[in-house]
Chain A
Amino acid sequence: MIRKLIFARRNGLRWHWTDIVSYAYLVLGVVLMFGPVVWLALSSFKSESGLIEFPPAIFPTSQVEVRVAGFEKPLPLYRVTRPDGSNAVLAQVRRIGIEATMVDPKNPAAVERVPLEAREPVREFTLAWDNYTEPLKQFHFLSYFWNSVFVTAAATLITLVINSMAAYALAIYEFRGRGVVMALVLGTLMIPITVLLVPVYLAVSKLGLVNSLWGVILPGAATPTGVFLLRQYMLTLPRDLIEAARMDRASEWKIYARIVIPLSLPALAVLAIFSVMWRWNEFLWPLVVLNKSEVYTLPVGLSAFQGELQVRWNYVLAMTMVTLLPVTVVFAFLQRFIATGIANTGMK
């Protein structure tokens, strides 16, 4: 069965050397594409001491500690090889020079002296959840997270509403000036915000929105790509439907909200997914507008946090995971949908 699956091939023709090269390439691709993220995920669960080990362990592990009667603190466990060749698992009481004082946890009275090189720490698989809970508690990461959620949700909603209205006007009506508007929209396609950092910052500061999440949300809300995507889709709706609605005494808004929008839901869904991706990942513009750490979004907060002198890698890694997790979950469910959306529109 598995053999069959592994050796199953389209068309079931003979193997060709290119097939072997193809599969080798794909396996390499899986390692290269997923590997770094998996490594990040594993590392994010390592304790601070586990992170500075070199060479690093693959899985997050830490030394086992036990409580031994007669000792206040828990003692670290070691696997010890005695000079006679026998093995034992002992707890270390203290270390003096090149020797360690150790006891048998089951028999605390028996104290042994063991050379350091004859002992090996006993490790077990542990997940350092502190990496996730601490930065959320001690630092502003929880508010970064909610800021990101707010920016993403509000911006996507505004984008969907105003872009769909504009697309509706450009798709359904023939009116004087339509060509000019189309050209304007086309023009804005050529001018990304990277080119307008200074003047848009001026506009945002005039509106009093510096250090406000609205300052992040509003400048990018009207996307030319969104207008185009939706207009293209709306153009495929039968004209008869619009005219039937007009004969049915529907107001223009009603035609928009009750006929065109419900029928454009597939395109709106694509735009919504794109918008969520754009906004969740957005970095440069929030970096410009947000200068106070209370209003940071996740990417800005992460960047600032990792740029500090003493980088707390355990926290950085865990928060990186928090940032990439929602996107990954969305991706896992909507992968096919997103991929066809991109293939059809050629936008990102």
Chain B
Amino acid sequence: MARLTLECVSKRYGKIEAVRGVSLDVADGEFVVLVGPSGCGKSTLLRMIAGLEEITTGELRIDDVRANEIGAADRGLAMVFQSYALYPHMTIYRNMAFGLENARMPRDEIARRVERAARMLRLEAYLDRRPGALSGGQRQRAAIGRAIVRDPKAFLFDEPLSNLDAELRVAMRKELSALHAELGRTMIYVTHDQVEAMTLASRIVVLQSGRIEQVGTPLELYNHPANVFVAGFIGSPRMNILETRIAARSESRFTLGLGETAVVIDGQPPSSNEAIQLGVRPEHVRVVAPGAGDFNASVEHCEHLGAHTLIHATVNGRPITALQEGQASARRGERVGLLLRREALHFFGADGEALTGWRGRTR
């Protein structure tokens, strides 16, 4: 059972600062996902928690005890590596037992734990095999099993699903969720895949360039992105971001200029200067007859996904994507009208931060 606290943690390699002053509180039993593009410092952060990297400045506390100086082996954490890191020359049983043997645990206790974990992960039949003789998913489960047998305070996962194919990834996601529910342990999970983050996390931490951009539950991040980066990173297909300026404003409505067209929006105008960025998710853009929407656009191409259709269009040269339910059809070059769902609009300042003062959206 563990509560992890990071206080202003930084990591510097020479002149390069990989992690910059990250503060985070992970409650006991929470499933926290660190997500961000590659090179954002999420793996470094995880490895600092694990004890595989030294913390340059700042403090890591595990259950309110300073852990900076405690060795990786003694923090009571278990890690599942991206490459699984199963010892190729040992059987699956020995792989799981190795850490327990090193802790000088009695043999029958080791056997009991390994068998329990194997049952949980449906690996009983493979305990005598070597990792090389296992499929990707089985290896993944064996790696998780190695973490489980140690009965750690918290689990650390470093992109554990990225070496699996798409179908297996979906299945493993479900298993991981079930595992978290069953074990009830704190889990910290690193991924670059926002779908994984959304589906697994009780809380998501979005990182960019070694800094936390936003922390929140998946829906908080989806509904209230704190800045353009989070808005673009969370949600698929990506949110449309349109550069606009406020052309006119009054107490209860304002007009956004979008090239030659303008969009009139009811509600209090954001407290900002003129140049703002308008964010709207593709699922909140409706395709209507030309002239019936907020503005007209010309269709570039269509992606048919079966249940949905993605329509890529341009408005005065700016790209915009609309997601339509069902199997809509539109030809290239066709003029259509686009209608933006008012309560789902996001406004960001020129600096990319979400603008306060806009309260148009209602639940």
Contacts and interface: CB of A to CB of B under 8 A. Distances in A.
A and B touch in the complex (CB under 8 A): yes
Interface of A: 238, 240-241, 243-251, 254, 258-259, 262-263
A262 B89 contact: yes
Contacts of B102: 248-251, 254
Closest 6 CB pairs of A and B: A248-B99, A240-B85, A244-B85, A249-B73, A249-B102, A240-B81
23 contacts: A238-B85, A240-B81, A241-B85, A241-B87, A243-B81, A244-B79, A244-B81, A245-B87, A246-B71, A247-B52, A247-B72, A247-B73, A247-B78, A247-B99, A248-B98, A248-B150, A249-B73, A249-B74, A250-B99, A254-B102, A259-B87, A262-B89, A263-B88
Interface string B56-91: 000000000000000111100111011111111100
Contacts of A244: 79, 81, 85-87, 146
Nearest to B96: A248
Given A248-B73, A249-B73, A250-B98, A243 B87 contact: no
Interface string B147-161: 000100000000000
B323 interface: no
Which of B71, B82, B102, B103 gathers most chain A CB within 10 Å? B102
Given A240-B85, A262-B89, A245 B98 contact: yes
A238 B163 CA distance: 15
A240 B72 contact: no
B101 to A, nearest CB: 9
Contacts of B86: 244
A65 B11 CA distance: 92
B338 interface: no
Contacts of B50: 243, 247
A247 B89 CA distance: 18
A240 B139 CA distance: 15
B156 to A, nearest CB: 9
A150 B102 CA distance: 36
Contacts of B82: 240
B161 to A, nearest CB: 16
A238 B86 CA distance: 10
Contacts of B52: 243, 246-247
B72 A246 contact: yes
Contacts of A248: 73, 98-99, 102, 146, 150
A254 B78 CA distance: 19
B89 A243 contact: no
Contacts of A241: 85, 87
Which of A241, A244, A258, A259 gathers most chain B CB within 10 Å? A244
A69 B302 CA distance: 115
A246 B85 contact: no
A245 B86 CA distance: 9
A187 B88 CA distance: 35
Given A238-B85, A241-B85, A241-B87, A247 B79 contact: yes
Contacts of A258: 98
B142 to A, nearest CB: 12
Contacts of B73: 246-250
Contacts of A243: 50, 52, 72, 79, 81, 85
Which of A241, A247, A259 gathers most chain B CB within 10 Å? A247
Contacts of B99: 247-250
A238 B82 CA distance: 11
